Amino acid sequence: MDIQTLTFIIVGLTFALYIGIAIWSRAGSTNDFYVAGGGVHPIANGMATAADWMSAATYISMAGIIAFAGYDGSVYLMGWTGGYVLLAMCLAPYLRKFGKFTVPDFIGDRYYSQTARTIAVLCAILVSFTYIAGQMRGVGVVFSRFLEVDIATGVIIGMVIVFFYTVLGGMKGITYTQVAQYCVLMFAYIVPAVFLSLLMTGHILPQTGFGGTVSDGSGQFLLERLDGLSTQLGFAEYTEGVRSKVDVFFITAALMVGTAGLPHVIVRFFTVPKVRDARRSAFWALAFIAVVYLTAPTIAAFGKMNMINTVNGPDLQGVEYDNAPSWIKNWEKTGLITWEDKNDDGRMFYSGDERNEMTIDRDIMVLANPEIGDLPAWVVALVAAGGVAAALSTSAGLLLVISTSVSHDLLKRNLMPNITDKQELMYARLAAAVAILISGYFGVYPPGFVAQVVAFAFGLAASSFFPAIILGIFNKRMNSKGAIAGMIVGIVFTFSYIVFFKFISPELNNPEYWLFGISPEGIGTLGMIFNFVVALIVHKMTGDAPQDIQDLVESIRYPKGAGEATDH
C-alpha cells in the first residue's frame, strides 16, 4: 500500500477513536464540561496532561528547530521541561486546594476584584488564541503533505474534528480522548527514532545512539560528524550556539515561567478527586513527557544528517534535481520546500551561506524524517497520525480554556450571574465555536513557524499570569490594585514588543535593535519582571489585602492545625 492510502487508513481510524470516545463520554453538566466531574484517575490524568502539554510545537516543531538551530534549540527543551516541574511542584497543588478551576477564577477571588477577573479573562483568551494558532498550523502542515491538500483545507479538517469532540464531550471527553492521543503520538514519535538509531548507529535506544559512533566503520561520533558537515556547509557547529547568553537565558526563563501560567495545563489538576491525586498525576505526567522529550534531540540529529546527505549527496557536491529523492518532490508540492537553481547546473545544494539553493521549512523535519531515512510506508503514516494527535489534543484543551473563560469567568461570575447551568453550558459551546473559527484563520495565516508562535504564547503567559499566581499564593498581603497594575503592564509591554518586531518592523528584528539583546521569543521574561516590580510598588503604595483574604491564603498554604502544640 502507498503512503497516502496508509495515512488515510491510520489517521481515519484515530479520528474514529477520538469521536467515539467523545460520544461515549459526552458532558451532561458544567462540572463534566469544565473538570470531567473531578473523578479522573491520576495515571489517566497524567497521560492526558502529557498529551495536552505535548502540542504540535513539541511533536512537529521542537525537533525541527533543534535540527536547524542545533545547540540554540535546546532552550525549548530546557524551558518547557523546567516549566512543567515548576508548575507541578510549586503551583498546581495550591491552586487545586484553592478550588478554582480556571486562572481567571483564582485571580478574581484571590484579589477580590471583578476588574482583576476581567483582565485575567482577556489575558487567557489572548494567550490561548496565540497558542492555538500554532496547533492549527501544525494540523495544516500534516494534512497538506499526507492527504495532498493545501494547508488551508488541512486546517479546516482539523477545525471540524477538534470542534466536534470538544463541544460534545467537554473536559470529560477531552480527557479520555487525550489518553488515546498520548498513546498514538508517543508510539509514533518513538518508532522512527528507534529505526533511525539502528540504521545509523546500530543502537536500539536512540538516546545511546545519539552519543554513539556512526555505523560506517569510521569510528566517528554522530555529533562529531554532524559538526563537521555543518561547518563544511557554512552553518555554525551543531553543538555550538550563536545566540547570546542573555537571550538564551531570557527565552528559557520565558518558556519556563510561561508554562507555569498556562491556563489549559493548570485546569488539568482539577479533574482528579483530591489534592494528593493532583500531585500523583503531576508525577505521572512528567514521566510520560520525559519519554518524548528525551527522544527529541536524537530525532533532530538523525534527521539533520540524513537531510544533508540526501539533498547534497554523500560527496556534498549536490544532487541532480531530476534525480532528487522522492521526499523532496512530495514536500515541494506543499510549498514547504522550494529550490532555486542559482548557478543553472541543474543540481540542488543546501548550505548556510550564499551557495544555498534550498528553502526548507523547519516544521517538516519530524514529519519528513521517516521518508528521508527511507523507512517503511506504515511508519510514515504513523508519524502523520501522531502529528495530528499532538495538535488536536492541545487545541482541544485551549478551546476549553477560551470557552470557560467566556461562559464561566466573564458571564457567570461577572456579567450574567443569574444564568442557569444549562445556559452556561450553551454559552460555553457557542464560545468554542467562535474560537475555532478565529484560531483556524490564524492557522492559515500564522505569525511564524509553530514553535515560535507557541513561544510567543508562553511569553504572554509569563508576563501576565505567573506573577499574579505566585504573589497570590506566596504573598498574602498582595492586594488587587497591585495585581491589576502588574498584569496590565506585563501583558501590554510583552504584546507590544512582539507585535512591533514581528509585524510592524520585521526588518529591525535582529540583536542590534532588541532591548538589552532580548529577542521577541524571550521578552516575556522582562515583561514578567516589570509585572512583579509594578505589582509590588503599587501594593506598597495602596496597603495590604483585607484580613479575610490573608486568612484564605494562609489556609491554602498550610494544612489545618499545622504547627500547633500537642500533648502527644
Longest dimension (CA), the chain: 91
Give the whole-number percent of the chain exceeding pLDDT 90: 15
The CB density around residue 165, as the number of other CB atoms within 10 Å, is 24
What mean pLDDT value characterizes the chain? Answer: 80
Q: Is residue 99 part of a domain?
A: yes
Least confident of 63-77, 321-335, 390-404: 390-404
Cα–Cα distance, 391 to 56 (Å, whole number)? 4
Indicate if the pLDDT at residue 87 is higher than 70: yes
Across-strand partners of 348? 319
With 60 as the cut, is the pLDDT of residue 568 above it?
no
Q: What is the pLDDT of residues 181-191, one digit of tens each?
A: 788 888 888 88
Predicted TM-score (pTM) of this structure: 0.78
Residue 306 DSSP label = H
State residue 478's pLDDT score. 94
Q: What percent of the chain has a predicted confidence (pLDDT) above 70?
A: 87
Of 468, 473, 464, residue with least CA distance to 94: 473
Tell me the three state secondary structure of residue 337.
strand
- Predicted confidence at residue 446, as pLDDT, reads 65
| Res 499: pLDDT | 84
Count of CB atoms situated within 10 Å of the CB of 438: 15
Average pLDDT over residues 234-258: 87
pLDDT of residue 371: 85
332 within a domain of the structure (yes/no): no
Query: Which has the minimum average pLDDT: 356-365, 405-414, 545-554?
Result: 405-414
Which residue did the predictor score with more confidence, 496 or 19? 496
Task: Give kind and range of the element (H or E) at residue 348.
Answer: strand 347-348
Give residue-wise pLDDT tens across range 378-418. Answer: 888 888 788 777 766 667 767 777 777 777 777 877 778 78
pLDDT at site 131: 73
CA-closest candidate to residue 192, choices 65, 373, 60: 373
The total domain count for the chain is 1
Q: Is residue 359 part of a domain?
A: no
Q: 347-348 and 358-360: which strand pairing?
A: unpaired
CB 222 within 8 A of CB 46: no
pLDDT tens string 428-451: 778 878 888 887 787 777 655 445
Residue 138 in domain: yes
The Cα–Cα gap between 534 and 532 comes to 6
Cα–chain center distance at 54: 6
Cβ of 434: how many Cβ atoms within 10 Å? 12
**Is the model's pLDDT at 53 over the cut of 90?**
no
Q: Half-sphere exposure of residue 127, counting CA atoms within 13 Å on the CB side?
A: 36
Bridge partners for 347 per DSSP? 320
More confident residue, 19 or 564: 19
Average pLDDT over residues 329-346: 84
- Residues 375/299, Cβ–Cβ less than 8 Å: no
Asked whether residue 429 is assigned to any structural domain, the reply reads: yes
Instruction: Please write the tens of the pLDDT for every residue from 285-320.
Output: 888 888 888 898 999 899 888 888 888 888 888 888
pLDDT for 27 equals: 54
Q: Is residue 365 in a domain?
A: no
Highest mean pLDDT among 3-7, 32-36, 74-78, 300-304: 300-304
Evaluate if residue 171 carries a pLDDT over 70.
no
Contact 130, 453 (CB under 8 A): yes
CA distance 512 to 516: 9
Residue 58 has pLDDT above 90, yes or no: no
Grid cell, residue 264, equals 489549559
Q: Which residue has the cell 518524548?
A: 292
In this structure, the number of other CB atoms found within 10 A of the CB of residue 342 comes to 11
The pLDDT assigned to 163 comes to 74
Which among 78-82, 389-393, 540-544 has the top mean pLDDT? 540-544
User: By mean pLDDT, which of 34-38, 110-114, 165-169, 219-223 is the weakest?
Assistant: 34-38
Confidence of residue 487 (pLDDT cuts 50, 70, 90): very high
Question: Is residue 148 within 8 Å of residue 141, measured between CB atoms?
Answer: no
Amino acid 535 reads A
Backbone angles phi, psi at 319, to 5 degrees: -120, 140
Q: How does residue 28 score in pLDDT terms, banded at 50, 70 and 90?
A: low
pLDDT at 393: 66
Residue 52 in any domain: the answer is yes
Whether the CB-CB separation of 38 and 176 falls below 8 Å is answered with no
Which of the pair, 362 or 168, is modelled with greater confidence?
Answer: 362
| Domain residue limits at 401 | 3-303+374-454
Q: What is the pLDDT of residue 331?
A: 83
In a domain, 178, yes or no: yes
pLDDT for the residue 423: 82
Question: Residue 32 sits in a domain of what CATH number?
Answer: 1.10.4160
Q: Give the model's confidence band at 563: pLDDT under 50 very low, under 70 low, under 90 confident, else very high.
A: very low
